[in-house]
Structure 1
Amino acid sequence: MSIRFNLMKENAAAYAALGNLDTLGRESSIPKDLQELIKIYASSLNHCAFCLDMHTKEALENGETIQRIVGVNAWREAPFYSDKERVVLELVEEVTFIHQHGVSDAVYAELERLYSEKEIGELYLLIATINAYNRLGVMSQMQPKADK
């Protein structure tokens, strides 16, 4: 499968604008390990192989465990995620599939209990940005390079 469209090449300004959002997310107060779990889980839900590959490798480079990376798709059953991580993973799922039920009051109430308004805004930005990247990656048929 070859890439259909290269946004970086064909509309560099649009890609740079998305990159600016990504930078804001990376520089937020949200811990880097949680940022990568957000990106891995959303990329998995969106079936974006390119982003899933990239963020899995970044998480490993930053010290995340293989167990937590592999287990993220079964986070409800896995014992190695904190309450703060669990509500964020639920939020990732609800935002990624927002067309189904929106963001539930229960998830938002738990977010308010565990995170400040500033942090909730940062989480929203992180989740929206990776979803945008995923959609561009899938539409463009971006593929990761095979490891050697």
Structure 2
Amino acid sequence: MELRMIHYEVNPVAYEALMGLESFAVKCGLDASIIELIKLRVSQMNGSSVGINVNGRTLHDKGDNFERILLLDVWRDVPNYSSKEKAALELAEHITRVSELGVPDHVYDQVRAHFNEQQYI
């Protein structure tokens, strides 16, 4: 796979800002594995081969089960994810397509059952 550009070299300030957001998410108490699941799922939704490759490898390297990584695209249909992970994935999908779907009340309520307000933000 050949990259069009190396983002952190082309615009290190923008790259550092993105990394700062991720660092903030971790400091809010979100489980690092949930953050990685979200990043992988959003990469799948956006068709980002680089993101799928990087985030899938990161999950694997951190010890996540290969089957869970492989089945993430169909997370609703398999028992491999906790209710907390499913709530986070549901929210991530709605936020990724917020202009199409918004975030329904039932998704908000489901997420708030597992995450505090700071983590939700």
TM exceeding 0.5: yes
Task: Say whether 1:75 aligns with 2:75.
Answer: yes
**Structure 1 residues not aligned, in runs of 5+:** 122-148
Q: Deviations over 1:99-120 (max 9, x none)?
A: 1121111100111222211221
Where does residue 44 of structure 1 map in the other structure? Answer: 44
CA distance in 1, matches of 2:45, 2:80: 20
Where does residue 18 of structure 2 map in the other structure? Answer: 18
Give the Å deviation of 1:33. 1.6
Where does residue 65 of structure 2 map in the other structure? Answer: 65
Q: 1:103 to 1:54 in 2, by over 3 A?
A: same
CA contact (8 A) 2:94 2:101 kept: yes
Task: Say whether 1:35 aligns with 2:35.
Answer: yes
Q: Which has the higher contact order (CA 8 A, sep 6+)?
A: 1
CA contact (8 A) 2:25 2:119 kept: no
**Structure 2 residues not aligned, in runs of 5+:** none
Give the Å deviation of 1:37. 0.8
Percent of matched pairs sharing the same residue = 29
Give the Å deviation of 1:25. 2.3
CA distance in 2, matches of 1:25, 1:43: 18
Give the Å deviation of 1:9. 3.0
Residue type of the alignment partner of 1:98:
V
CA RMSD of aligned residues (A): 1.7
Q: Secondary structure at the match of 1:88?
A: helix
Where does residue 95 of structure 2 map in the other structure? Answer: 95
Residue type of the alignment partner of 1:106:
H
Give the Å deviation of 1:64. 0.3
CA distance in 2, matches of 1:31, 1:14: 24
CA contact (8 A) 2:28 2:118 kept: no
